[in-house]
Amino acid sequence: MHSGKLVFAQLMEFLPRHEFDKCVRRYRGNFRTRGFSCRDQFLAMAFAQLTYRESLRDIETCLRSVQPKLYHMGFRGRISRSTLADANRNRDWRIYADFAQTLIGRARTLYLDEPFGVDLKGTAYALDSTTIDLCLSLFPWATFRRRKGAVKLHTLLDLRGNIPCFLRVSHGKTHDVNILDELPIEPGAFYIMDKAYIDFTRLYRLHRQAAFFLTRAKKNLDASRRTSHVIDKSTGLRSDQTIVLRGVKSSQAYPEPLRRIHYFDAETDKRFHFLTNNFVLPALSIARLYKCRWQIELFFKWIKQHLRIKAFYGTSPSAVRTQIWIAVSVYVLVSILKKELNIKRSLSEILQILSVNPFEKTPVFQLLTVPDSGFPDTRCRNQLTLFDF
């Protein structure tokens, strides 16, 4: 039997300890702590994410049941639900946000050459948001509707590897288009978004910073055609036009030409009108690129199914943000593990296996490697036949 490290400890070794300590010092996270450090808090919350714990009491009960193993898992402080609740409420959530960004940078380097369905040399991002419902009686600061609370998770997803490279947790009433003001702009990159982000003043700012945007045009778009380009209608394309805006406000906000592409998708029997400032990429590639935007919808669905970001261990804004950022860190950590160990399993399979084996001492690569065959043949070849038929 392997007598090495626990699976949970092996997984945590993929975290850069030095970078985590830098984030803690930046916000004085361990100032006046009494034995329960920021690292203990992160480990407890990561354990809760990996093993699907339901509450603080659940976390405390499970970890205390394996008290002799806690030191080998990396814990140095005493596990208590009240201490963990105080840490989630009072400690600066930006510690874990900055650390998640460190992990994201590492993951993006690993997935730099990952294909995503379109032959594109540059970087492509999908921008969208998802609403996380909250109970208004428990989260009175998150008023969204008259009898409903919510926060929004705004995400910029790198389509190479589906790595979230920019996240913002905002009030549920925050309009999606306002996030464009906070977005880090990368020259030459594609930003794919839906109609909710159409604001020509902000889109023109993207254009002036040498970035490309791709969105769907609204039906009431007031524009005039300047030129039409040759297309192959057998591919689903219906038109490829250069247009200029005619509206009084829109033409002032975006004074330069735009490209409008009409595409018919035979599989869904739907028509799409795309709007972009890129005039170089083929029209069919533009249509395929927008189809990749669906990956961010799958990302939101995945994290809501496999991570705990719909039910929270605390009711304060800091506790909610801390839990979301640690959940994102766990997602990116599993992505790093998959790439560095060249695991062929999906992220959901890896997470399921890790959830039931945190206290085992099997090497994590051996644990996650897909077996070549089924159950081994354990029959003894020297066993005599008991009955002859």
Tokens 């039931």, residue located: 356
Q: What is the pLDDT of residues 150-168, one digit of tens each?
A: 999 999 999 999 999 999 9
**Average pLDDT over all residues of the chain:** 91
Q: What is the pLDDT of residues 47-56, one digit of tens each?
A: 999 999 999 9
| Cβ atoms of residues 214 and 235 within 8 Å | no
Residue type for position 131: T
Percent of the chain with pLDDT over 90: 85
* pLDDT value at residue 1: 42
User: Would the pLDDT of 372 be above 70?
Assistant: no
Tell me the mean pLDDT in the region 318-344: 95
CA-to-CA dists, residue 17 to 13, 79, 99, 102, 232, angstroms: 8, 21, 10, 11, 55
Q: pLDDT class for 375, splitting at 50, 70, 90?
A: low
| Global pTM value | 0.89
CA–CA separation, 140 and 149 (whole Å): 7
Q: Is 9 helix (H, G, I), strand (E, B) or coil?
A: helix
User: Would the pLDDT of 285 be above 90?
Assistant: yes
* pLDDT value at residue 115: 86
1 vs 275, higher pLDDT: 275
Q: pLDDT class for 137, splitting at 50, 70, 90?
A: very high
CA–CA separation, 315 and 319 (whole Å): 6
Tell me the mean pLDDT in the region 5-23: 95
* pLDDT value at residue 99: 97
Compute how many other C-beta atoms are within 10 angstroms of the C-beta atom of residue 315.
18
Residue ranges per structural domain of the chain: 7-95+315-366, 194-283
* pLDDT value at residue 81: 93
* pLDDT value at residue 382: 61
What's the token pair of residue 152? 């929004």
CA–CA separation, 350 and 129 (whole Å): 26
Selection from 9, 22, 29, 10 nearest residue 322 by Cα: 29
Q: What is the pLDDT of residues 103-116, one digit of tens each?
A: 999 999 999 888 88
User: Would the pLDDT of 200 be above 90?
Assistant: yes
* pLDDT value at residue 168: 94
Q: What is the pLDDT of residues 219-273, one digit of tens each?
A: 889 999 999 999 999 999 999 999 999 999 999 999 999 999 999 998 889 999 9
User: Would the pLDDT of 133 be above 60?
Assistant: yes
CA–CA separation, 250 and 221 (whole Å): 9
Selection from 30, 74, 86, 77 nearest residue 313 by Cα: 86
* pLDDT value at residue 73: 93
Q: pLDDT class for 2, splitting at 50, 70, 90?
A: very low
**What fold characterizes domain 194-283?**
Ribosomal Protein S8; Chain: A, domain 1 (3.30.1370)
* pLDDT value at residue 120: 85
